[in-house]
Structure 1
Amino acid sequence: MIKRNILIASAFFSFSLGIAQQYGGMWIPTELNEKEMKDLGMKISAKDIFNVQKPSIKDAVVQFNGGCTAEIISPKGLLLTNHHCGYGQIQSHSTVENDLLSNGFWAKSTEGELPNPGVTVDFIVDIKEVTQQILEGTDKLTEPELSKKIANNIEVYKNSQKTESYQSISVKSMYYGNKYYAYTIETYKDIRLVGAPPQSIGKFGSDTDNWVWPRHTGDFSMFRIYAGKDNKPAEYSKDNVPYVPKHYLPVSIKDKNENDFTFVFGFPGRTTEYLPAIAVEKIMKEIDPARIAVRDVALKTLDEKMRTDDATRIKYASKYASVANYWKKWIGEVEGLKKSNAVEKKVMYEGSLVAKNHEIKSTLDQLNKLYNDQAPYALNNAYYTEVLRNAETLMLANLYYNYVTSVEAGRMDEKATAAFKNRLTSFYKDYSAELDAKVTAKLLALYANKTVPQFLPVGFDKYKNEAQNIQTIEEASKNSIITGRTEVNGASTSKDIEKALSNQDKLIKTLKKDPIYQIYVTLRETYMKTADPQFTSLQGKIDELQKTFMAQQMETDKDRKFFPDANSTLRVTYGKVKGSSPRDAVSYNYQTHLAGVMEKYVPGDYEFDVPRKLIDLYSKKDFGVYKDKTGDVPVGFTATNHTTGGNSGSPALDANGNLVGLNFDRQWEGTMSDINYDPRFSRNIMVDTKYILFIIDKFADSKWLIDEMKIVK
């Protein structure tokens, strides 16, 4: 039951109303809150940011490889994004003998830039609101007919639009289905690695400093977009040429001051700012703690091996970072939701809405009941999905299960088979069956101990003892074709996938007897029977009511300017350069410097080692034009921009639209901003452009890249 601490909530609610940006904001660039942006200090106009009639800043901002953001910083298609966004590509070019992760990489000319098959960047050419077209004829419909009609209307709309072969139309729901927007996208497919600092710079502080301020990480990497000779998208070819952009960002090396205006332009992934109080409470007390518990076990097991074996460290580097990222984020999110009194704040806001519109009370009562009814199924869903996501052996079993069911249903055509083989080849490349047997064993033990009996397979108690489980799963792994440790059709799946899949009937018969496959199927069938239908059914009802609740909020609260939750579409968020005071007697400055890198330096440490050349540059104070008024090189800074995952690599721009930083993280005390933005604690973290250019110029001796850019002094 929600604790209705009205005194605390009332005090906070009154306090927050007096602060600009009390709700944050991730604005569709065609619907910017331009007045507040100018009030906060912006010098350019909304048309300078997004314009389909002439070049604008949006022409320099791309979605990088479907997940992060990147920006063009030269007239030759030079692309800047985070080191952690390019990590997979840097890793793919690395070997034990030529470890680009550890040593860094800097092309000395365009001829030395490295291709990355499959990597893409997407430009947003246009954005149009199409709510009327997409909701046409839906007034009297209910589910499932409503979804079918909307899907049909989307296809009709997309087919009515004229596009080039390299363009596509994506229609996105906003405000929980109350509005729809169409995005015209251009995709470039020849993206080459230009430069990356060693991870002792690009990942400095690693897991210890992740989501933490003060931060001293040079989290950047550089790529280049290549195009056909007509400057249009083309598949990789040696004959392609650097892309000539419509706009590129000037790079500023001016000093930053507290309260300077900034805005961040990128592709934030997912937020849920408009949930009812009951939903926030469930996340804070049940769902996030379950996710954290699973990843805690997986990370500790991987870390033990990675610290002692370089081959494993390289193989699992990107995956470990990915798992650790949200593990730590959820920990901060829970603490932040508590500290900001998020539930009580929501309760107060809901009370103010009900006072204006009594119909909202009925909606909230229904939502409260649905969330409470769903709670046991939602908790099981959290444990089940996280176990499958983090036990790679079970994830592999899931791939094979889908293959078997597709074959038996007659859906495994030539194209699907090729995709399955490619997926397996990619998976086995960075998979250790021996290591993951331990991870899987420990996660199955956790699942057996944390899950109530009604959601467990019969006899699953035998997996409760972790030590015994490790022996059991290791034995199963040794005798499994899924792990690639035994052969089928005369070959190991991990070494010769073509031969292993050559006799389909034999493969399927062998799979069904496979010990790992049987464990997975038992787990899956029990979950699908006891939890998934109930969870999904209740979620459908919640989603339907959330749409109503969202519409009611927008209709009732006339004093609030609403923005849609993030959904990986192009957004603008803005704020001011600012430090913070997240805890009693703790105050953070907005800027860190190279001196802080040296203070954290631990020789030989995998998180806090520092390259000798960087130490020498610091000792000699060889900072060039990249020092600030303190005489040191600024490394990172914080501001009040409302960001989330997907904003990694986003440009941070000043009041004139010049690049001043590269967004890469959030302050741990404010990671709850995906659910509850709090202007007291919510800070995004950016690499200072001075540090980026200092590393490129002084550390990497790659001034040829600096010469491409327009530097604002």
Structure 2
Amino acid sequence: MRNALISALVLSSGVAFISLETHADEGQWQPYQMPSIADKLSERGIDIPAKQLADLTQYPMNAVVGLGYCTASFVSPQGLVVTNHHCAYSAIQYNSKTEHNYIADGFLATSKIDEPSAGPNERLYITEAVTDVSDRVTQGLSQEPLARYQEIQSNRKSLIKSCESDDNYRCSVRSFHSGLEYYLIKQLIIRDVRLVYAPPKSVGAFGGDIDNYEYPRHAGDFTFLRAYVGKDGQPAAYSKDNVPFEPKSYLKINADGVKAGDGVFVAGYPGSTSRYRLTSELKFASDWLYPTLASRYQLRIDTIETMGNSNHEIELKYAGTLASMANRMKKYNGLLDGFKATDIAGIKQSREDGFKQWLATDKTYQTYQAKFDQLELLLTKKRVDNQTRYYFENAQSSALLAAANKLYRLSKEKVKPDAEREEGYQERDMKMFKARLKRIDSSFDASVDKALWQQDLQAYIAQEHRVAALDNMLNYVDESVTLSDKLAGLYSLTSLTDKDKRLAWMDAKAGDFETSADPFIRLAVALFDTNMAQEKDKKTLAGQLSQARPDYMKAIIAYYKANDWPVYPDANGTLRITYGMVDGYQSKDALYKQPFTRLEGITAKHTGLAPFNAPQKVLDAIKEQRFGSHKVASVIKDPSTWLCRLFSCYKPEEFNSVPVNFLSSVDTTGGNSGSPVFNGKGDLVGLNFDSTYEAITKDWFFNPTITRAVHVDFRYILWMMDEVDHADNLIAELDLVRN
């Protein structure tokens, strides 16, 4: 059976690659699994004990933190944190004003007193414990789908409540292998996060959308933040009296970096993959979902860019939103291109056919064919439901309507006992609920919100799946009033644009909403029953899938093990480890992409126009070949530091320059942005920030021949800190080592 998946992968250039039986470096492994792949780590030259990597209380795993959407890591005993520039974009945007545009100019706090808040929503999450609670979630569940779904949620909430006896912790119960397993995740929350050092966008996002998912890259995608706590050492909300957090450990930074062929590993919080999904699900994504999403994102991007070009305040407010949309849109297009270039559907169908043949002959799992057929029927219903609801859900995309929907739902949930409330509306959620309402102002402009909402409403009007409650409120039958004028009236009459008035609705009762004259509140009330009915249908289907998916996964895991294929859960936003090696790849016929890029590539790409507009101070340092100074040499904890005084600190002999970005074969996806890249000893050598365009389809299928992650080399970060921005105070905090 080991030869069941020898599939040809044909790129658009006509070059064929063969998927490796060994699956090479595939796997987004849970930390506890590391001892089971200790031999694989050793083969890659990763010497740090697998048992140590499995222990979240030990170095380096206790220095890896989540941002809720990206990954970061502690790099000093004073709570200094490093992540990607694009991960900290909202913090930079939050502090950017017309008089000091940190997005364009960059920011450096030369002392802690100058470090501003990263914003009320910014958090650091330190995972301290991961506990298998599968039996406690799934034991004795009802066979009735909706009741089953509700029982799972009730069991999850009970576990979370017990875990969160200390307000400083945030807990969650995550599903692994599609509900086959559940783990309780306990995380310490740091609530006071501050901006410390960010290069200008022309460094952090050098190449912009043009270079996004491309290689070679020359992006300085890094930013430093700092964690603060109360004087008692406990997490606390922002206060000028707070002090830097002292982490249990912080990463050593290897100033010598890595070279081609070196083993590396990455730890972080990958968001979502679909490698165990069925072929029918991939085809739906390829044929309808991704094209539809990409088209909508492109329309929204064009609108925001047009409006931002004539209004600098809009440009600042929507900078983060625009970057996020552009990234998603390019990813969807990349997935579509990848599906065309490489027959991923055919590969998955081949594997699925092999699985069905195995089912028919395996004595333990022969009866699972009927379960597999039932799963396909449920997925067909899910696809129809998604298409039916898509435009109605988008028709509620206004930031003000979204806030009104949530506020009215909160008034309904608050009359229930806390344990029976929907997740997101419990007492544990109120701080973040309030913070999100506050944060609206920082990325909201009524004219932009109206324009984007109008586009979604026009798409809704043009299709057949209409909802009477929405049609009645918008009164489309009155042809004397245009949609644009109707929406303008809603925005002119609402009070939800006022932060204090918006927050006051958190304490209102349902009756207050139902008698309100505010047009967005009225619309939220009118849509509530329809939204709740659709939510009930979703929960019922989820209850059915909570039986069908785990049964499928039991069989598919057994099939994988029979073929000696790696078994790890799909990414779900929880802490994972992946390993690989520094390596280039053959992207198409006669085109091999080298694993490293150099400073000179910045100069070669520089045009003076965004997104290839490198700062003059960077260009000057490159031209003058200033490749390292005594400042870094003086803090490297190694007796051979005198060499750095004689020769350039960051210029490896094999490059004759400073490395900027590099490639490796580690298995990453969205959420891994900002993840620390370690050498075999566990020293920090880079930050993950992207994938190559050819590798985007790895969310569905891992092809080791062309799958590469893109990292910013820490030698480039040190060079920027030293030679360009003179961040002497931060260099002094770092624990720099040599090979």
TM range (shorter): 0.7 to 0.9
Question: Which of 690, 706, 711 matches 2:731?
Answer: 706
Partner residue, 1:365: 373
Question: Which of 294, 302, 305 matches 1:303?
Answer: 305
Taking the aligned partners of 2:108 and 2:731, their CA distance within structure 1 comes to 13
1:352 shift after superposition: 1.7
Question: Which of 619, 622, 631 matches 2:626?
Answer: 622
1:89 shift after superposition: 1.1
CA 1:100–1:343: 2 relative to 1, 3 Å: same
Q: Is 1:693 aligned with 2:718?
A: yes
Taking the aligned partners of 1:556 and 1:7, their CA distance within structure 2 comes to 11
Question: Which of 419, 438, 443 matches 1:430?
Answer: 443
The residue correspondences of 1:92-491 to structure 2 (distance < 5 A) are 92-116=94-118, 117-138=120-141, 141=143, 143-154=145-156, 157=159, 165-229=167-231, 231-358=233-360, 359=366, 360-386=368-394, 388=396, 391=397, 394-404=398-408, 407=411, 411=415, 423-449=436-462, 451=463, 453-455=464-466, 472-480=482-490, 483=491, 485-486=492-493
The answer (yes or no) to whether the contact 1:168–1:185 under 8 Å persists in 2 is yes
Partner residue, 2:551: 548
User: Counterpart of 1:681 in 2: which secondary structure?
Assistant: coil
Gaps of 5+ in 1: 1-5
Q: Is 1:41 aligned with 2:41?
A: no
Q: Is 1:610 aligned with 2:614?
A: yes
Taking the aligned partners of 1:446 and 1:151, their CA distance within structure 2 comes to 34
1:83 shift after superposition: 0.9
The one-letter code matched in structure 1 to 2:576 is R
Taking the aligned partners of 1:8 and 1:55, their CA distance within structure 2 comes to 38
1:172 shift after superposition: 2.3
CA 1:85–1:350: 2 relative to 1, 3 Å: same
User: Counterpart of 1:597 in 2: which secondary structure?
Assistant: helix
CA 1:239–1:615: 2 relative to 1, 3 Å: same
The answer (yes or no) to whether the contact 1:68–1:267 under 8 Å persists in 2 is yes
| Number of residue pairs the alignment of both structures matches | 687
Residue-by-residue CA offset, 1:544-574 (whole Å, 9 max, x unaligned)? 3222111111123322231011111111011
Residue-by-residue CA offset, 1:84-117 (whole Å, 9 max, x unaligned)? 1111111111110111111111111222222334
User: Counterpart of 1:357 in 2: which secondary structure?
Assistant: helix
Taking the aligned partners of 2:147 and 2:18, their CA distance within structure 1 comes to 42
Residue range with higher mean Cα deviation, 30-39 or 502-511? 502-511
Residue range with higher mean Cα deviation, 114-123 or 192-201? 114-123
CA 1:362–1:15: 2 relative to 1, 3 Å: farther
Taking the aligned partners of 2:413 and 2:109, their CA distance within structure 1 comes to 49
Partner residue, 1:640: 665
Taking the aligned partners of 2:594 and 2:410, their CA distance within structure 1 comes to 56
TM-score between both structures, scaled by the size of structure 2: 0.83
CA 1:609–1:309: 2 relative to 1, 3 Å: farther
1:693 shift after superposition: 0.8
Partner residue, 1:589: 594
Q: Is 1:579 aligned with 2:587?
A: no
TM-score between both structures, scaled by the size of structure 1: 0.86
1:396 shift after superposition: 1.5
The one-letter code matched in structure 2 to 1:590 is P
1:203 shift after superposition: 1.8
The answer (yes or no) to whether the contact 2:17–2:705 under 8 Å persists in 1 is no
The one-letter code matched in structure 2 to 1:699 is V
CA 1:471–1:85: 2 relative to 1, 3 Å: farther
The one-letter code matched in structure 1 to 2:389 is N
1:253 shift after superposition: 2.6
Residue range with higher mean Cα deviation, 680-689 or 207-216? 207-216
CA 1:397–1:181: 2 relative to 1, 3 Å: closer
Taking the aligned partners of 1:469 and 1:87, their CA distance within structure 2 comes to 43
Partner residue, 1:3: none
1:696 shift after superposition: 1.1
The answer (yes or no) to whether the contact 1:493–1:500 under 8 Å persists in 2 is no
CA 1:293–1:8: 2 relative to 1, 3 Å: farther
User: Counterpart of 2:577 in 1: which secondary structure?
Assistant: strand
Taking the aligned partners of 1:209 and 1:469, their CA distance within structure 2 comes to 46
Identity over the aligned pairs, expressed in percent? 29
1:475 shift after superposition: 1.5
Taking the aligned partners of 1:553 and 1:564, their CA distance within structure 2 comes to 12
The answer (yes or no) to whether the contact 2:193–2:227 under 8 Å persists in 1 is yes
1:476 shift after superposition: 2.2
The answer (yes or no) to whether the contact 2:6–2:18 under 8 Å persists in 1 is no
Gaps of 5+ in 2: 11-15, 361-365, 417-424, 629-648
1:364 shift after superposition: 3.4
The answer (yes or no) to whether the contact 1:441–1:470 under 8 Å persists in 2 is no
Residue-by-residue CA offset, 1:638-695 (whole Å, 9 max, x unaligned)? 1111111211111011111111110111112212222222223322111110111111
Residue-by-residue CA offset, 1:9-53 (whole Å, 9 max, x unaligned)? 85459975535435821111111122212112211111332325x
Residue range with higher mean Cα deviation, 607-616 or 239-248? 239-248
Q: Is 1:569 aligned with 2:593?
A: no
Taking the aligned partners of 2:480 and 2:218, their CA distance within structure 1 comes to 39
Taking the aligned partners of 1:487 and 1:382, their CA distance within structure 2 comes to 26
1:521 shift after superposition: 7.6
CA 1:253–1:340: 2 relative to 1, 3 Å: farther
User: Counterpart of 2:31 in 1: which secondary structure?
Assistant: coil
